[in-house]
């Protein structure tokens, strides 16, 4: 990647701007902590931020952005940087094991060979088991030489407080929906209505929104809304709607049913109307909550050999019955 092609994570994901500036300021002032914890909900760009930091920390040239040209940058881009270590659960496992951490610590003791510092990247940090976290703790207490550890976590509360307290925390919050919408309208080239639907389906998570925009999963969302609306006006059409919706991918279908229900609950709480719902019906919020929970349970069950058509029919009957 040439210098001109490189963009800061801020240009790519604008809500990361303040975190990137914080990092650069600390780095330039020589006050960057030995361990950074980037935390926050999934799908907000924490890993993009971490990768940009890794690149910046390893580059041997001065400048506000990794140059992409020096030997260190080329080694990193080729995935063979001798001073860079990435730790995540091994294939088939969900935990980072103590042996992995011990091996990392041993490597961090060695002198650098291509960069001026060593960088380790651990993700997801909460997947360290107790022994692994304890082993890491020692190296957080006595960091070796010019070493920077970057931990990334969706779920920092699952990490021991002793680990968290030794890291400089960078909290990446989910950006405001309006900011994500403006950014996507500008950069994605997709129609605004589709972006709004994707954003809703993704619960506001920007990277999941992008995923929906680029896949066909979202195409069925309007059909699900249409089906639910029809049922409220014509409860007797349950069999028909059920057989239509049963054609959809069950995981997507249950996600959309859950999302639609959440949308209805939110609009009732806010006292606003939803364009896809008939305006003259009133629904029971308690039943809606149960239906939403049931949709999530059914989504989890759709991976198991169950009679999905029966679950769906039952759910739709309850949906049609909830008119006050």
Q: Which residues bind Zn ion (CB under 5 A)?
A: 59, 61, 67, 70, 73
CA atoms within 13 A on the CB side of 186: 10
Question: Which is nearer to Zn ion, 69 or 223 (by Cβ)?
Answer: 69
Instruction: Quote the DSSP letter at residue 14.
Output: G
Question: Which is nearer to Zn ion, 73 or 148 (by Cβ)?
Answer: 73
CB of 113 to Zn ion, least distance (A): 15
Question: Which is nearer to Zn ion, 58 or 241 (by Cβ)?
Answer: 58
Question: Which is nearer to Zn ion, 67 or 241 (by Cβ)?
Answer: 67
40: left (phi over 0), alpha (psi -120 to 50) or beta: left
294: which 2 tokens? 């049931």
Q: Quick one: which of 259, 250, 185 has its CA closest to 221?
A: 259
CB of 59 to Zn ion, least distance (A): 3
Question: Which is nearer to Zn ion, 61 or 90 (by Cβ)?
Answer: 61
Angle between helices 206-214 and 192-201 (to 10 degrees): 120
CB of 73 to Zn ion, least distance (A): 3
Q: Quick one: which of 299, 294, 53, 33 has its CA closest to 169?
A: 33
Question: Which is nearer to Zn ion, 55 or 180 (by Cβ)?
Answer: 55
Residue 96 CA to residue 89 CA, distance in Å, equals: 5
Which phi and psi (to 5°) does residue 27 adopt? -65, -45
Residue 30 CA to residue 172 CA, distance in Å, equals: 23
CB of 83 to Zn ion, least distance (A): 13
CB of 61 to Zn ion, least distance (A): 5
Question: Which is nearer to Zn ion, 50 or 59 (by Cβ)?
Answer: 59
Which phi and psi (to 5°) does residue 307 adopt? -80, 90
CB of 116 to Zn ion, least distance (A): 11
CB of 56 to Zn ion, least distance (A): 9
Contact status, residue 282 vs residue 324, Cβ threshold 8 Å: yes
Which phi and psi (to 5°) does residue 50 adopt? -60, -45
Q: How many helices (H) and strands (E) does the chain have?
A: 15, 5
Contact status, residue 209 vs residue 195, Cβ threshold 8 Å: yes
């Amino acid at each position: 990647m040439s210098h001109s092609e490189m963009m800061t994570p801020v240009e790519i994901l604008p809500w990361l701007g303040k975190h990137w500036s914080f990092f650069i300021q600390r780095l330039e002032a020589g006050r960057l902590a030995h361990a950074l914890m980037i935390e926050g909900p999934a799908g907000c760009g924490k890993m993009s931020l971490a990768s940009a930091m890794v690149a910046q920390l390893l580059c041997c040239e001065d400048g506000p952005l990794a140059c992409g040209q020096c030997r260190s940058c080329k080694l990193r881009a080729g995935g063979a940087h001798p001073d860079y270590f990435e730790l995540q659960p091994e294939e088939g496992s969900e935990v980072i094991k103590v042996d992995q951490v011990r091996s990392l610590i041993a490597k961090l003791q060695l002198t650098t060979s291509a960069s001026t510092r060593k960088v380790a990247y651990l993700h997801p940090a909460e997947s360290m088991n107790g022994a692994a976290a304890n082993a890491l703790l020692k190296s957080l207490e006595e960091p070796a030489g010019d070493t920077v550890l970057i931990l990334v976590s969706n779920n920092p509360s699952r990490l021991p407080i002793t680990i968290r307290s030794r890291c400089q925390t960078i909290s990446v919050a989910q950006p405001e929906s309006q900011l994500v919408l403006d950014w996507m309208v500008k950069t994605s080239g997709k129609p605004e209505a589709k972006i709004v639907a994707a954003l809703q389906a993704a619960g506001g998570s920007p990277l999941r929104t992008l995923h929906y925009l680029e896949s066909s999963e979202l195409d069925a969302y309007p059909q699900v809304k249409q089906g639910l609306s029809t049922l409220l006006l014509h409860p007797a059409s349950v069999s028909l709607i059920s057989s239509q919706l049963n054609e959809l991918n069950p995981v997507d279908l249950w996600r959309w049913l859950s999302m639609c229900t959440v949308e209805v609950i939110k609009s009732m709480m806010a006292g606003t109307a939803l364009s896809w719902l008939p305006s003259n019906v009133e629904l029971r919020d308690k039943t809606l909550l149960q239906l939403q929970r049931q949709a999530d349970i059914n989504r989890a069950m759709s991976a198991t050999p169950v009679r999905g058509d029966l679950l769906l029919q039952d759910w739709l009957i309850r949906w049609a019955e909830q008119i006050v």
